[in-house]
């Protein structure tokens, strides 16, 4: 099973090394911290917190990252930086799945969010689940019913789901995901001044997703790099960017939590930390299951 301080004997500085690297990377590229949060969701939600998301395409097997659900994910190369620092001190000891979990925990702190206490001892998968990604990760315009049931199935309750979506208080969204709300006419439920900003950022009705630098907008214009309750204030305005964000403020089951979180940042932080830990413990591989990858991008060859 997972436990607190799993590496306390085998690699006593493991958690410190990860934290040091997350801080250093944040100082060099602030958006790495944002990526670590999204990583946890996209790894843990798909079957297990097993670093399946980190596997590259190899002959005949395409990476999970090819799924349209994982569009826009970035900074994977810096996972290698963290792994290299761990390998230097404790070769073959710390799993990539624990890097995914702990970097998300420490990334949240860099973004002035809460710190959840996380267990360790996850092993890495020997396969990926590209074909199943869409059955685990909702689309951004799916119904709230479906979104809630997906989170429910991994033990995150409604309140926790509302809190986790608060991760959309940081980072960006690519124009391809929002132009349907801007063209040919602006969705009347969007705030007009926000819509003006979005049209400025996304001037084309048909952005090219394969462009060298695909266009994008900030999800939270006021505090784009702070994991705060601004997200809930925005979606109440309403300035929800994705359909899923808007629905959260509109649906009867979720709206009361949205209002509470909009009014109380500490309550949001408490719920976020709690739900992030639940997410991080979804169906881990432990003991003899899985392996500890030497290179997070590939399964071990033996
Ligand atoms: C129903 C659930 C969710 C849906 C449908 C969803 C969808 C999306 C979409 C479409 C984007 C924009 C991607 C792009 O255009 O580049 C995005 C970004 C993001 N999501 Fe979610 N998301 C969900 C839940 C979550 C959760 C639970 C977390 C973390 C706890 C999370 C963290 C993030 C972050 C941090 C970004 C910004 C990434 C960046 O700037 O690189 N999301 N999400
Ligand atoms: Ca996974
Ligand atoms: Ca924010």
pLDDT score for 120? 98
Lowest-confidence range among 96-105, 113-122, 162-171, 202-211?
Answer: 202-211
Any atom of ligand 1 within 6 Å of the Cβ of 167? yes
**173 annotated as a binding-site residue:** no
Mean pLDDT of 164-185: 96
Q: Whose CA is nearest to atom 10 of ligand 1?
A: 140
For the stretch 207-241, pLDDT in tens is 987 888 889 999 999 999 999 999 999 999 888 88
**Nearest Cα to Cα of residue 239 among 264, 261, 218:** 218
Q: Which atom of ligand 1 is nearest to the CA of 75?
A: 41
Q: Which atom of ligand 1 is nearest to the CA of 38?
A: 32
Q: How far is the CA of 179 from the centre of ligand 3 (A)?
A: 22
pLDDT score for 302? 65
Q: Would the pLDDT of 53 be above 90?
A: yes
pLDDT score for 83? 98
Q: What is the mean pLDDT of the chain?
A: 96
**Nearest Cα to Cα of residue 47 among 132, 104, 110, 118:** 132
For the stretch 177-212, pLDDT in tens is 999 999 999 998 888 989 999 999 999 999 987 888
pTM over 0.90: yes
Dist CA 232 CA 148 (whole Å): 17
Dist CA 212 CA 199 (whole Å): 20
**Nearest Cα to Cα of residue 297 among 102, 97, 54, 129:** 54
> Which ligand gives the minimal distance to the CA of 96?
2
Residue 140 annotated among the catalytic residues of the structure:
no
């Amino acid at each position: 099973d997972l436990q607190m301080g799993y590496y306390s004997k085998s690699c006593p500085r493991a958690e410190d090394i990860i934290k040091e690297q997350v801080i250093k990377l944040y100082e060099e590229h602030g958006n790495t911290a944002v990526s670590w949060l999204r990583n946890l969701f996209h790894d843990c939600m798909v079957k297990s917190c097993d670093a399946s998301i980190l596997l590259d395409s190899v002959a005949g097997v395409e990476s999970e990252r090819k799924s349209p659900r994982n569009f826009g994910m970035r900074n994977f190369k810096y996972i290698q930086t963290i792994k290299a620092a761990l390998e230097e001190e404790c070769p073959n000891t710390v799993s990539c799945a624990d890097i995914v979990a702990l970097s998300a925990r420490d990334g949240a702190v860099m973004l002035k969010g809460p710190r959840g206490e996380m267990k360790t001892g996850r092993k890495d998968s020997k396969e990926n689940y590209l074909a199943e990604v869409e059955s685990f990760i909702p689309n951004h315009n799916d119904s709230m019913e479906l979104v809630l049931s997906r989170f429910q199935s991994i033990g995150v309750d409604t309140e926790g789901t509302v809190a986790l979506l608060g991760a959309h208080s940081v980072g960006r969204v690519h124009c391809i995901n929002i132009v349907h709300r801007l063209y040919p006419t602006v969705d009347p439920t969007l705030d007009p001044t926000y819509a003006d900003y979005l049209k400025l950022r996304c001037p084309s009705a048909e952005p090219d997703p394969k462009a060298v630098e695909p266009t994008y907008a900030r999800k939270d214009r006021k505090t784009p790099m702070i994991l705060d309750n601004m997200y809930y204030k925005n979606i109440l305005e309403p300035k929800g960017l994705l359909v899923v964000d808007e629905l959260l403020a509109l649906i009867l089951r979720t709206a009361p939590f949205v209002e509470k979180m909009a009014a109380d940042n500490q309550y949001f932080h408490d719920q976020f930390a709690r739900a992030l830990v639940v997410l991080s413990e979804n169906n881990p591989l432990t003991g003899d299951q899985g392996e500890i990858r030497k290179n997070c991008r590939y399964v071990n060859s033996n």
